[in-house]
Structure 1
Amino acid sequence: MSAEIVPLPRHDATLDPMLALTAPGMNAVNAVILDRMQSKIPLIPALAGHLISGGGKRLRPMLTLAGAELVGYQGNRHHKLAASVEFIHTATLLHDDVVDGSDLRRGKAAANIIFGNPATVLVGDFLFSRSFELMVEDGSLKVLKILSGASAIIAEGEVDQLTAQRQIETSEERYLAIIGAKTAALFAAASRIAAVVAECDDVKEQALDDYGRNLGIAFQLVDDAIDYDSDAATMGKDRGDDFREGKMTLPVILAYARGTDAERKFWKAAISGHRDGDDALEEAVALIAKYDAVADTRQRARHFAQRAIDALSIFPENRARAAMSEAAQFAVARGY
């Protein structure tokens, strides 16, 4: 990572411009989501609805809608595709909560806690299937290739993260590769397909891909920072979940690299699962603060957010570009 100076985020940045820009389209997207999560098996809409109605930001489908506004698309194909994007994301969340044994999701009991692991996995599979139905209905092989490719990359990223779990020597480069796959790939695909349905040239298509990919990396970096500098009420999940699960996120990677021999011994015991209680978590938080690891993680997030904003420079200044730029600012300034 270069040592360039990255502008500080606007701390008053919000998602409000993005929400206002995409509100009409999101009404149509939500109607598709509600319709396609239905099933004659009552457990399926009950479990899917528990998460879908749980107050998520819906940022990924908003990227598809905002991108369509940015390039002046006048059709409505992007509504079903944005719903497909949200189904992919929701399916991965359901599977993640089972893999991680999570208790909370968006401030509520995780679906696996209420409905059990088998049902949660299977409903995640159902939502993946619905997302592919929506892609096929669109009829574009290019869209299908982009979204199906992203789905495969997400799965690879999750497996890579699983194999890196409790591996204290995980490098920053591998960590960035993991989040580039498990998070940024869907951000990139969600943004890119807007240019595809609008039949834009390759330059605009790549610019939207770059915007989404860099925004996704910034977003995940901040998520990983928040796990060590926020609380459960703010985050909507248990504080220190990543620590207890032995996940090698950037705050830990940096604190371990900068620590003394004694501190590294602590990290090896903690990440391997031998020290994962509340006292150990507090020690981890203190060490991360000592070495500015959260601050530096957020600094790296600002770097990627700026790259996302810069990717939009080929487009004329308009309401959509302003909203998408502010969304990148919000991604790094947020505390939840």
Structure 2
Amino acid sequence: MSLDHAASKPHEALAALLRDDMDAVNTLIETRMASEHAPRIPEVTAHLVGAGGKRLRPMLTLAAAKLCGYDGPYHVHLAATVEFIHTATLLHDDVVDESAQRRGRPTANLLWDNKSSVLVGDYLFSRSFQLMTEAGSIDVLRILSNASATIAEGEVLQLTAATDLRTDESVYLQVVRGKTAALFSAATEVGGVIAGASADIVQALFDYGDALGIAFQIADDLLDYQGDTAKTGKNIGDDFRERKLTLPVIKAIAQATDEERAFWVRTIEKGRQEDGDLDQALAFMDKYGTLAATRDDALVWSEKAKSSIAKLPDHEIRDLLAEIADYVVARLS
């Protein structure tokens, strides 16, 4: 992948291009996450916001709006809304997953407690709805409120599907569309809507966000089994230890012998894991080539993301969006 930009990574080049708008988003986030009556709210949110992260989702909103010729000011409100929704879901996810670490730092639920994480997450959801109304667009409200519901639905579906060996690739895709892709597609779609873009352009932006989100999550699930801990901040096999049925395992179970299936029942469904089980799981994935097959799926979704925006106006931002689609799967090579 060649990058003809000053920054070495496409999301960094996009951030540089959108620097003024991103600064405005960050300022708005700081202002709106303040609370006069509950100082714990800015404490908890500042910890999570301060942990870094690429801010990819709000950047996608700004990029889509700019690509469609919008000159403000409400793209900033919508980008902040997207980030608030994302941050709220992270706070809730860490409680549900009983996580102790995110982006290499202790999670809010570990530093404070579960109650604080859940309630501050609720506060950020409420703030996101306040922000999205300020754009004065019923379409924007529909898109972002639908996305919020879809995210919650995806998380609940994952609760039941994650340890059920009947979970197949279609259910996995439904979970991924809910918990990850819904916010990506809403982020790009509202950028086009606020700019008054045509229906086919808005649809192209939605399709790009949807495919990018799916490629992103499949890549993330694959890196859990073959990533570099120093780069990902995750230990190899965390999903296995947490009994999460992700795509590499689903593909291995679909081809398993009766004896192999008994192994998956014990380790995933019943959660009775022993020393050496992760190595055995990896051996089964290697036997059926499921890591390579999962990588191929991620590449297919990355290509879908790129083809979705081929019809958009010729623009530096369009090229960067295509490079971002490449970048989310480039870490798999």
2:59 pairs, out of 57, 62, 86, with: 62
Alignment size in residue pairs: 328
Q: Distance in 1 between matches of 2:134 and 2:113?
A: 32
- Which residue of 2 is the match for residue 4 of structure 1? none
In the alignment, is residue 122 of structure 1 matched against residue 112 of structure 2?
A: no
Tell me by how many angstroms 1:14 deviates. Answer: 4.0
Q: Distance in 2 between matches of 1:176 and 1:36?
A: 34
**Distance verdict in 2 for CA 1:56–1:101, change over 3 Å:** same
- Which residue of 1 is the match for residue 144 of structure 2? 147
**Distance verdict in 2 for CA 1:277–1:30, change over 3 Å:** farther
* TM score, norm. by length of structure 1: 0.93
2:100 pairs, out of 103, 109, 119, with: 103
1:20 pairs, out of 11, 16, 20, with: 16
- Aligned 8 A contact 2:219 2:295 in 1: yes
Q: Distance in 2 between matches of 1:266 and 1:21?
A: 50
Deviations 1:272-299 (A, max 9, x none): 2433355222222232233222221121
- Aligned 8 A contact 1:18 1:323 in 2: yes
- Which residue of 2 is the match for residue 216 of structure 1? 213
Query: Structure 1: which 5+ residue stretches go unaligned?
Result: 1-8
Q: Which amino acid aligns with 2:223?
A: I
Deviations 1:199-245 (A, max 9, x none): 11111111100010110111010111111112433222343222122
In the alignment, is residue 92 of structure 1 matched against residue 86 of structure 2?
A: no
Percent identity between the two aligned chains = 51
Q: Distance in 2 between matches of 1:268 and 1:128?
A: 37
- Aligned 8 A contact 2:143 2:190 in 1: yes
* TM score, norm. by length of structure 2: 0.94
Kindly report the root-mean-square deviation, in angstroms, between the aligned alpha carbons of the 2 structures: 1.8
Query: Structure 2: which 5+ residue stretches go unaligned?
Result: none
RCO greater where, 1 or 2, for CA within 8 Å and sep 6 or more? 1
Instruction: Kindly report which structure 2 residues correspond to 1:162-173, keeping only aligned pairs within 5 A, or say none.
Output: 162-173=159-170
- Which residue of 2 is the match for residue 326 of structure 1? 323
Q: Distance in 2 between matches of 1:279 and 1:111?
A: 32
Tell me by how many angstroms 1:155 deviates. Answer: 0.5
- Which residue of 1 is the match for residue 279 of structure 2? 282
Tell me by how many angstroms 1:17 deviates. Answer: 2.5
In the alignment, is residue 34 of structure 1 matched against residue 16 of structure 2?
A: no
2:78 pairs, out of 75, 78, 81, with: 81
Instruction: Kindly report which structure 2 residues correspond to 1:170-249, keeping only aligned pairs within 5 A, or say none.
Output: 170-249=167-246
SS of aligned partner of 1:57: coil
Q: Distance in 2 between matches of 1:19 and 1:297?
A: 29
Q: Distance in 1 between matches of 2:19 and 2:331?
A: 21
